[in-house]
Structure 1
């Protein structure tokens, strides 16, 4: 049971990291295209998180026959967070003195 609960925190932490990155990016007043790309990535992350929550609840209730959709949603979350980090690093949307580049 404890390993299940630690896995459920991963998507939440990824979403919080993405939101934090978006707030940092918005504070620097990014260009229109960069802003739209960040918003699109955040929407995709939000949708994948909602799907993941739905499927986890279905799995706990015994209604999900295959865990493939959960794996796909976690991969989607990870790839979108990585893409968002890459966009922020490319645009140098961080304070070099206070925040190191994201890895």
Structure 2
């Protein structure tokens, strides 16, 4: 299965579950707690991803990276930012030096 299809299916599932029953859906539970809680989870998963990377455990890193992507997608959904918009921004930056791109944002 193509990776883009997996992300599209995940995005659709998150959108569907956002307004669901918080006792039956983790996505609904997070959304019921608000943006601050969702953002906190993204931060926690980011930290856990860094720890796994530094520990050198590939399997753990893969799992934590998946958690991070999932929670980031929950956050994007909660803020009504489609993944396509993020992908378009990545595409816009493609072929541009990271140093040059960052410098262009500070002007």
TM-score normalized by the length of structure 1: 0.44
TM-score normalized by the length of structure 2: 0.42
